[in-house]
Amino acid sequence: MITYAHDRPVPAPDRMPTLFLSHGAPPLADDPVWTKQLAAWAADLPRPRAILMISAHWENAPLTIGATETVPLVYDFWGFPSHYYEVTYPAPGAPELAVDVVTLLGSAHHDPGRGLDHGAYVPLVEMYPEADVPVLQVSMPSLDPTVLLEVGRRLTPLRDQGVLIVGSGFTTHNLRELDSAAEDRATAPSWSVEFDDWVDRVIAVGDVDALLDFQHKAPAARLAHPRTEHFAPLFVALGASLDQRDTAAVVDGFWFGLSKRSFQFH
């Protein structure tokens, strides 16, 4: 049994869902709609014992476990106003969870100095602003959807121990096509709307095979994701929920033409 209180058994809570959320960029934290959506989403979730974050902004093979104690954040972006580099999020580390991840995956590297990047802390600031839930971030060892699906599948037992598994990316992500006037579905570019609609429909019917082959099956896939790192975290969240089919699109809408659609897998 996986435990989180100095190896003392604790009662298992109801199974936690898994999440795929669109974290945007640091300025998305200035969007009052998105921040309220994330806060409301977190309020409706069972209280997690710990959070396992898989962010689009950390690729490292083999899979690597980040800091297991509180260390400085990783400000992995450039050219923004200074206040974005002053954000703090001193969440507790999760060393017991790190041990469990290694047990479930068989092996993993460890980078004890690697703090949370903005794909992790930007949404967590809105969801758990008190920074009082232990957080562990692990890298994506590959962008291959089948590899990430298997990582998620192996991590499934964590859900029964109160761990919230979160894949943090963006449902559409093409920064060269950002459009400050594209605030809603009516003004978002057609490629973003079409890809967003396809993902919503395919996830609703549980067509995992189509998702795994999204680069060939989805409309405008190359425009929606010139590189696939922001879609990849979806497959970890999906893999940890393969034994259940209930899903919900909890957040939708667009930000500068990019889809904010985010999912909860039960």
Selection from 57, 52, 22 nearest residue 173 by Cα: 22
pLDDT at 185: 81
Number of other residues whose CB lies within 10 A of the CB of residue 53: 27
The Cα–Cα gap between 44 and 131 comes to: 17
| Token duo for residue 190 | 């057609």
Q: Which residues pair with 251 in a beta bridge?
A: 262
pLDDT at 51: 98
Angle, in degrees to the nearest 10, between helices 145-155 and 95-105 = 120
Rounded to 10 degrees, what is the CA torsion of 64, 171, 250, 39?
A: 60
pLDDT at 13: 52
pLDDT at 238: 97
CATH number of 18-265: 3.40.830.10
List per-block mean pLDDT (blocks of 10 residues) for the chain, which spans 266 residues.
36 79 83 91 97 98 98 91 93 98 96 97 96 98 98 98 97 86 82 97 95 98 97 98 84 91 95
Taking a C-beta distance cutoff of 8 angstroms, is the pair 138, 54 a contact?
Answer: yes
pLDDT at 89: 97
Query: 177 in helix, strand or coil?
Result: helix
pLDDT at 24: 67
Taking a C-beta distance cutoff of 8 angstroms, is the pair 189, 177 a contact?
Answer: yes
